[in-house]
Structure 1
Amino acid sequence: MGLPQEHRLKRRQDFQKVYKQGGRYSSPHLIIRTLFEAYLENSIGSQPSCFGISVSQKVSKKAVGRNRLKRLIRKAIRQLLPEIAPGWKVVIVVRAGSLECKYEHFLRELKQLLIKAEIIHGH
């Protein structure tokens, strides 16, 4: 099961815009690039947050491994979606050496990065 359609970052131009203009936060296995875009709309928060996932061949030469990592990241995003503020564009980059990580590890790291980026309000 993928992300809902309105929460997907699909176009190459969107990815490039986030890479060029967005902030960068990193952890041992993930890097997130974030860009707040709600200011383009008339009312703040009317635009849902969108996510893109990038897994390089440096992580795994086999597509099976890269696709498994993308499924785990999408599952973590779906679980965190109710806590995420609207209006953000986020690209999640998986670092090399992440192939052995489990879902709980990705969930914890992703939540910490989103709190650091102030997309999720921490405690």
Structure 2
Amino acid sequence: MPRVAKLRNSLEFRIVYEKGARYDSRLMTAFVRRNDYGRHRLGITASRRVARRAVERNRLKRLLREAFRLSGENLKTTQANYDWVLNAKRSLLKVKLAAVLEDFLGLLARLTRDEGISGG
């Protein structure tokens, strides 16, 4: 993922948390906020509360990053570009990539539906 496609500092994360919409699913919580950067940007968190060992937290982050990457064509269907912060949930430790991808696509469908309601 290119450097410009990542949320890099705490200010960027905080803006998305405070001003973005929240979408909960079984495996993750997504905070989403429209941006003017011409591309979707991603930030991922996996706290020690979710996974005690660093190797587990890193796996969670890899799964979320890969699900986001594989959803590239579906992300293009949104009316705008967004900053995404994906927070891993503990249940993510027990699933494979296919389940993560399905869960993320469900969140994306809800966002797309909400875009239509709010006029984008």
Mind listing any 5+ residue stretches in structure 2 that lack a counterpart? 116-120
2:64 matches 1:70: no
TM-score with structure 2 length normalisation? 0.85
Match of 1:93 in 2: 87
TM-superposed deviation, 1:5? 2.1
Which residue number corresponds to residue 71 of structure 2? 80
Between the two proteins, the alignment pairs up a number of residues equal to 111
Which structure features the higher share of helix residues? 2
CA RMSD of aligned residues (A): 1.7
Structure 1 counterpart of 2:2: 4
Shift of 1:93: 0.6
The answer (yes or no) to whether the contact 2:92–2:100 under 8 Å persists in 1 is no
Cα distance per residue 1:66-113 (max 9 Å; x no partner): 101111111111111232145210100111232111100100000110
- Which of 79, 96, 105 is equivalent to 1:102? 96
Counterpart code for 1:48 = R
What is the letter of the counterpart of residue 105 of structure 2? K
For 1:52, give the aligned amino acid.
G
Give the C-alpha shift of residue 59 in structure 1.
1.3
State how far apart, in whole Å, the 2-side matches of 1:112 and 1:68 are.
Answer: 21
Which runs of structure 1 show a deviation greater than 4 angstroms over 4 or more consecutive aligned residues? Answer: none
Conservation of the 8 A alpha-carbon contact between 2:13 and 2:43: yes
Question: What is the aligned counterpart of 1:114 among 95, 108, 116?
Answer: 108
